[in-house]
Structure 1
Amino acid sequence: MTAHQIESLFIGLAAILVLGRVLGAAARRLGQPPVVGEFLAGLLVGPTLFGGAVADFLFPADIRPLLTALAHLGLALFMFVIGYELDLALLRGKERIAASVSLCSVLLPFGLGALLAVYLSRSHPTDNRTGFILFLGAAMSVTAFPVLARILADSGLGRTRVGGIALASAAVDDIVAWSLLAVVVTVSGGGAQWTTLLAPVYLAVMFLVVRPGLRRLFDERRGRGQITADRLIVVLGGLMLSCWAAEWLGVHFVFGAFLFGVVMPRTTSERVRAQVVDRFEYLSRLLLLPAFFVVAGLQVDLSRTDLRALGELALVLLAAISGKFLGAYAASRANRVPPLQSAVLATLMNTRGLTEIVILTVGLQLGVLTPDLYALMVVMALITTAMTGPLLHLLKRRAGGAQALGSYADGPPARPPADDPAPARTAPRATTRRQAP
């Protein structure tokens, strides 16, 4: 690196820190998840405004590969935390309703997204039409578990029955959506065919070798509930190797990071889990993920948006919102959840946040999405995330407050189903301990 590149890199990183912090705090004051403001920071410095002059000044072309590398590292740490925070214990007592809500809120938007992709493929041609159709359906199906958890905590619904169902459904949604996306990436030509055939071997090694090894590593009788530097190095090294293996298999490194988080032992104490997550998330949350937002924002150009693009955006929003809302609402009503609580659940399942932007970035890197359609899908992700807070506020006013809205947690309906789940006793750690992206 030249001296000029080093100077430009440090200036750019300082700008990322300031913009991400200021706009994230502004979004929080407006009742929005910080991820909305942080990604707007990426849009503001991108080519949408001033013809990209701000981006060229703060992030010259010769340092953008370095920012991309930092963004990828932040993405790997983020996906690891998502996998580690995915607690299937949330499903206990809610298996049937969570599975039905999740599947309906995945299948319906997937179908609508696939139908929309058939129409959009004429104006956004790609080399792999089948991959494009499947990818757009998968992108419509995602729910952002971290953002949903934070919204529940902020709205006072984290300890209610409807909040517990939402978290359990989002956990199942994460598993289904990421598994579906892995298949779509493979179909879209993300890697060589013969290496992809080794994916079952990779899964077997992760669950039969790596998982027991990590369980022994975090045995509390050895570490006395403390996380040492040696243990963290083992976890970090394993995470990097898992990302490498997934990328080599052609399934994209984000799946390797997510899977490594999934196989982390859940039998450790809450203190141990908090230490691991905090240490991995702190730097990522402050610097690396904002770098990812900037890199993603630099690829969004809305300055050329015309009437045709606005029409396509309207169709994207219609498919995304109606698919998620109607699917979750119908499934919850089928399980005899009252209408108002069903509307709350459907609204929560429509939250997409950073998880959606991660998926869209994968599609852009694979060439499945064109830059123009990527920009429209990013706008959809921001709108569906931003609308959740105001909609919940309206529903709370209609119900007479958060306690009234969550009153279904304190007692079952007049004719509860046989497997009517009990209210969540405590909110998940992610909803109270930290600021989820």
Structure 2
Amino acid sequence: MTAPDGPAWEFLLLFAVVIGGPLLLERARVPGIIGLLLGGYAIGPNGFGWISQASDTLPDLGQLGLLYLMFVAGLELDLALLRAYRRSAISFGLLTFAAPMAAGTAVGFALGWGAPAALLLGSLLASHTLIVYPLIRGGGLGSDPAVATAVGATVLTDTLALIVLAVVAGTAGSAASTWEVLLRLVAGFAVLGGFCFYTLPRAARWCFRRLGGERTVRYLVAIAGFLAAAVLAQVFGIEGIVGAFFAGLALNRLVPNEGRLMDRIDFFGAAVFIPVFLVSVGLILDPRVIAQPSTLGLAALFVVACVGGKALAAWLARVLLGFSGSRAGVMFALTTPQAAATLASTTIGYQIGLFGTSVVNAVLVLILVSLVVSPIAGRRFMRQVPRPSATDRPLGARVVLAVSTVEPPPEVFRLAARIAAPDGGVVHPVLLRRESDPAHDTAAVSALEAAASAHGVDGAGAVVVDRSLAAGIAHAAAAHLATLVVVDGPMWSDTAGVAPPAPVLEYRGTDGALLHAAPTPDLAAELGRRAATSIDA
């Protein structure tokens, strides 16, 4: 008998940590991410030594997980909120980047570090990850101006942090002059930006419409997209995570947060890729180094610079942007957590020799502190913020497309998709049946979803059976919390005793469209701008 070894053994250990680590830590009210880091330490060379220092399996897979993490970070950002609150988001983004950036850089110089290491430290402290956002959104504050401002600011802070990382990583250890490196980076960002924000969305849209009927194809196109962006970034000496993040931003509108494709991306990310990256970071965790006074001293400085800088930015937002104290507290809670970009910059700084093991372990302590402080602050301040009205949801947030056949005209799909697109919303196709109609078969939903996918609609299909088509429309809209219902044809005529829970737009082919549910002139005008049909209100 021999001791277990090889990829099968390493993957068994990996998935044991992924399953058990978060469960054990969350029972102690500690964020599950800490369980993954500690589990990586336990199985790594500094723990029980079950995975040796020479193993490349988990570190290589962890690098893929790092790219995946930054891709998902770009996909999940709400760009509609950024557009709606762009002025306050840009202002707060600059504040919440500049304050910890300056503090972290000052700490680096005070420690005697060179400019590249000090600037990289400042940038990693300036970034943040929206780990607390699900908690805030679950409390009903997803559309609050302060929350929207903090979410929008994330685009700016993470982009600036990644640009600093690209410049530092590109100049560190390079034999070329600084001007040559900067010229290469400028050219690289220009090419990368053109690929990500022009070529990639068009190519992905074409693939989604031509090949999107296959469930796996849409997912594989998204994965290939961010990998292509990462490879292109590396060609110009830019870290691959910058390309992955930009690819996420570029595909943001094509992948609604509540669509089926985003469900698959989240599933594989949460189940495999992102946990693998966190476990791979835990492999270099060393409690003997953390317990050293020098490491604890570094961690204390990092915490003061990061948390203090984020608190200062939130206070300045209260003074300069007119937010209340409780809203400023929510903004602090949203922008303090350190995870995705922080771990990415720290890992790369360690790989290129700017950071030592003590710095990496000190940053892990910072991450732990930020993940404990932020939810506490979020729960405290969110209770003091008034909840927005439910009617404040964007028009295209959740569009229900009600049809009576599995092959409706393509124009009705495009109409619903055009209405949802500006808000990054999702369209849910619903097949309506009366109780007196023949029973539908199970292939009906699949056929409807395939037809919807071919026209850029990514929502989950469903069948609703009711006493009348109008009643089915009303119940489908209520079940999906619809902000608008698009109906294929005059199915809203039999409305006796039925009150629509959302505005209803009947598509009538060449005759245009008819808007029901007492529309306001503003609503009709907005629908007219989004749709390519005439609207009679």
**What interval of TM-score do these two structures reach, taking the shorter chain for normalisation?**
0.7 to 0.9
Distance change in 2, residues 1:363/1:109 (3 Å): same
Q: Which residue of 1 aligns with 2:481?
A: none
Tell whether the 8 Å contact from 1:74 to 1:289 is kept in structure 2 after alignment.
Answer: yes
CA 1:323–1:87 in 2, change beyond 3 Å: closer, same or farther? same
Conserved in 1, the CA contact under 8 Å of 2:44 and 2:51?
Answer: no
Residue 334 of structure 1 corresponds to 320
Distance 1:327-1:37 versus aligned 2 partners, 3 A rule: same
Change (3 A) 1:252 1:240: same
* Offset of residue 182 of structure 1: 2.1
Per-residue CA deviations over 1:89-116 (Å, capped at 9, x if unaligned) read 2213312221121111110111110110
Structure 2 residue corresponding to 1:72, chosen from 57, 63, 72? 63
In the alignment, the residues of structure 2 paired with residue 328 and residue 429 of structure 1 have an alpha-carbon distance, to the nearest angstrom, of 29
2:71 pairs with 1:86:
no
CA distance in 1, matches of 2:393, 2:294: 46
Superposed, which structure 2 residues align to 1:265-276 within 5 Å? 266=253, 268=254, 270=256, 274-276=259-261
In structure 2, relative to structure 1, the CA distance for the partners of 1:208 and 1:170 (3 Å cut) is: closer
Quick one: which amino acid aligns to residue 311 of structure 1?
Answer: G
Q: Give the residue type in structure 2 aligned to 1:386.
A: V
1:419 — aligned with what?
A: none
Change (3 A) 1:42 1:332: farther
Structure 1 unmatched ranges of 5 or more: 397-401, 412-421
TM-score, normalised relative to structure 2 = 0.65
Q: 1:423 to 1:321 in 2, by over 3 A?
A: farther
Separation in structure 2 between the aligned mates of residue 191 and residue 292 of structure 1, nearest angstrom: 31
Question: What secondary structure, in the 3-state scheme, does the structure 2 residue paired with 1:337 have?
Answer: coil
Aligned to 2:233: 246
Partner of 2:244, secondary structure, is: helix
Correspondence for 1:118: 109
Residues 196 and 239 from structure 1, CA distance in 2 versus in 1: closer, same or farther, beyond 3 angstroms?
Answer: farther
Per-residue deviation, residues 45-65 of structure 1 (Å, max 9, x unmatched) = 446xxxx341x1x21334x21
For residue 173 of structure 1, give the secondary structure of its aligned residue in structure 2.
Answer: helix
The one-letter code of the counterpart of 2:40 is: G
Tell whether the 8 Å contact from 1:214 to 1:265 is kept in structure 2 after alignment: no
Go from structure 1 to structure 2 and tell me whether the alpha carbon gap of 1:27 and 1:231 turns closer, same or farther (over 3 Å shift): same
**Distance change >3 Å, CA 263–CA 29, structure 1 → 2:** same
Amino acid at match of 2:233: A
User: Counterpart amino acid of 2:36?
Assistant: E
TM-fit CA distance, 1:346 = 1.4
CA distance in 1, matches of 2:136, 2:201: 31
The alpha-carbon deviation at position 367 of structure 1 amounts to 0.9
Equivalent residue number for residue 40 of structure 2: 42
Q: Name the aligned partner's letter for residue 105 of structure 1.
A: T
Separation in structure 2 between the aligned mates of residue 277 and residue 261 of structure 1, nearest angstrom: 11
- Deviation, 1:207, is 4.3
Aligned runs of 1:380-391 on 2, under 5 Å? 380-391=366-377
Letter in 2 for 1:301: D
Paired amino acid for 1:151: L
SS of 1:222's equivalent in the other structure is helix
**Mapped pair 1:407 → 2:407:** no
For 1:226 and 1:29, locate their aligned partners in 2 and report how far apart those are by CA, in whole Å. Answer: 41
What is the identity, as a one-letter code, of the residue corresponding to 2:279?
A: V
Aligned ranges for residues 4-403 of structure 1 at < 5 Å? 7-29=5-27, 33-46=31-44, 52-54=46-48, 56=49, 58-62=50-54, 64-121=55-112, 129-145=114-130, 147-189=131-173, 197-208=183-194, 211-212=198-199, 214-219=201-206, 222-223=209-210, 226=213, 229-230=216-217, 232-264=219-251, 266=253, 268=254, 270=256, 274-304=259-289, 305-396=291-382, 402=383
- Which structure's residues are more often helix, by fraction? 1
Structure 1 residues 429 and 379, CA gap change in structure 2 (3 angstroms): farther
Q: 1:67 to 1:89 in 2, by over 3 A?
A: same
Counterpart Cα distance in 2 of 1:209 and 1:389? 37
How far apart in 2 are the matches of 1:152 and 1:132?
A: 34
Q: Structure 1 110/429 Cα, relative in aligned 2: closer, same or farther at 3 Å?
A: farther
Give TM-score scaled by structure 1 length. 0.79
Separation of aligned partners in 2, 1:175 and 1:69:
25
Q: Give the CA deviation at 1:223.
A: 4.1
Indicate the larger mover: 345-354 or 18-27: 18-27
Q: Percent identity?
A: 22
Q: Distance in 2 between matches of 1:88 and 1:239?
A: 18
Once residues 114 and 35 of structure 1 are traced to their aligned partners in structure 2, the CA distance between those partners, rounded to angstroms, is 27
After superposition, the Cα gap between the structure-2 partners of 1:134 and 1:226, relative to the gap in structure 1 and judged at 3 Å, is same
Match of 2:6, SS?
helix
Q: RMSD across aligned C-alpha pairs, in angstroms? A: 3.4
CA contact (8 A) 1:67 1:291 kept: yes
3-state DSSP of counterpart to 2:354: coil
- Kept after mapping to 2: 8 A contact 1:191/1:251: no
The letter of the residue matching 1:110 is M
Gaps of 5+ in 2: 399-423, 427-458, 460-537
